[in-house]
Amino acid sequence: MDEGDRPTDADGSADRDERTEGAAEESRDERTQGETGESRGERTAERSEKGTDGPVAEEPGEADGVDPTTNSEPVADPDGSVEKPGEPGAETGSESDLGGSAADGEGPVTGDYTRTAEPAGSSEPSGTDESLLYRLRHDRDGVLMWIREMSASVGVVLLVGLLLFGVSGIWPPMVAVESGSMEPNMNVGDLVFVTEPGRFAPDAADNGVGVVTHEVGQDVDYQTFGAYGSVVIYTPPGRTGSPIIHRAMFHVNEGENWYDRADEEYHNAVDCGSLANCPAPHDGFVTLGDNNGAYDQASGLSPPVRAEWVNGVARVRVPYLGYIRLIATGQVELNEAIARTVGSAVPVEGSLPVEGSLPVGNSLSVGNSLPVGNAGLAG
């Protein structure tokens, strides 16, 4: 071979230098891109730790030494994806790139994503039972509203009844007057509050039932319901009707001849032998209706009233409220009640018996006029 045809050392060296420089540049580009990816990953991790949302701008001159303000060329990631400057996902990365999928459970998910929040203040019940309870409490019309209102009214009535029971000590604590035997001090349709025997007994009471007789009341000036002495509710043995509400006039002892103590206005006997229950068959009270013409013992309505026969002592009366029960039980007609309360000229058929009955039942009504109790008294 001709020497002129051989490549010289200088030409070979130049060719090798060019190949070496090309390889070095490619290696440098790969390292630069790797460093860029690592730097971006580090910045993303820092942002995730600090809780910062949104992309973080690269510092000028980092990694590839290119000014970001002038570089508009797409940047290739090591995995071959191309990021364009200015796009929202260019520097943030996807959820799988930054922290792995949430299903892996190997760390918190980072990156740009939107968490759906439930509406604030939403407290609407979701279950069937809760929804029914909510409607029962808040409905303004319909069946549930009526149930709520009726339940509230019944509850108020029961609450008042329990409070009165706690004060009086007996049930029912109030009675409705059916008879005119205690007029004018107690009228038909009056509601009377009663306490158990011995409760709230006055100092003048010298017995275990807290009763002050008319005879003692005159001496100590003790009056109730327009006259001296206490008004008692009692039930003699064998009585099938309602209990009786009358005034205690005086107390007698067993075997006592009480004819001389009796007021002649309230009997027509000439001596003890002609006076019923004289001498007294046992200890007890002689009683009288304020509107009656004879003692209960003289008329044969009851023997002297033993202390254990006394159901209660009358304390307070409220006019007209007792008519609610009397009308509801058919003991008084509506037109008769109206005639008695307002004095209307409504024709009234029949009349109340003189020795009518006084219910020990409770005609107390609250809200919707529901009666509480239904026992009875007779006078």
215 and 78 within one domain: no
CB within 8 A of 167, min separation 6: which ones? Answer: 173, 195
Does residue 304 belong to any structural domain of this protein?
Answer: yes
Report pLDDT for 137. Answer: 81
Average of pLDDT values for 207-231? 95
Q: Tell me how many domains the chain contains.
A: 2
Note whether 223 and 333 are same-domain residues.
yes
- Same domain for 277 and 191: yes
Asked, for residue 359, whether it belongs to a domain, the answer is no
| pTM of the entire predicted model | 0.55
Domain contains 157: no
Q: Over 90: is that where the pLDDT of 306 sits?
A: yes
Domain contains 2? no
Q: Which of 104, 125, 141 is the last residue of a domain?
A: 104
The confidence score (pLDDT) of residue 88 equals 47
256-289 residue pLDDT tens: 999 999 999 999 999 999 999 999 999 999 999 9
Q: What pLDDT score does 50 carry?
A: 54
Domain enclosing residue 313, as ranges: 170-342
- What is the rounded CA–CA span in Å between residue 224 and residue 222? 7
Average pLDDT score over the chain: 72
89 and 230, same domain (yes or no): no
Same domain, 306 and 200: yes
The answer to whether residue 94 sits within a structural domain is yes
Same domain, 274 and 181: yes
pLDDT at 333 over 90: no
pLDDT greater at residue 33 or residue 234? 234
Residue 230 has a pLDDT of: 97
CB 233 within 8 A of CB 247: no
Contact assessment for residue 326 and residue 189, using Cβ atoms and an 8 Å cutoff: yes
Confidence of residue 358 (pLDDT cuts 50, 70, 90): very low
Preceding amide of 359 cis, omega within 30 = no
Rounded CA-CA distance 268/234 in Å is: 25
Give the per-residue pLDDT at 142: 84
Same domain, yes or no: 100 and 231: no
Average pLDDT over residues 144-157: 87
Among 84, 104, 124, the domain-final residue is 104
CATH number at residue 234: 2.10.109.10
Q: Are residues 53 and 187 in the same domain?
A: no
Query: Does residue 256 belong to any structural domain of this protein?
Result: yes
Q: Tell which of 104, 128, 152 closes a domain.
A: 104
Determine whether 15 is exposed, middle or buried from the number of CB atoms within 10 Å of its CB (0-12, 13-18, 19+).
exposed
Residue of higher predicted confidence among 7 and 306: 306
Mean pLDDT, to the nearest integer, of 145-171?
A: 84
d(CA 181, CA 186): 8
pLDDT at 107: 45
pLDDT, tens digit (0-9, with 9 covering 90-100), for 38-95:
566 566 655 655 554 444 444 444 444 444 444 444 444 545 444 444 444 444 444 4
Q: Is residue 38 part of a domain?
A: yes
In a domain? residue 191: yes
For residues 228 and 306, membership in a common domain is answered with yes
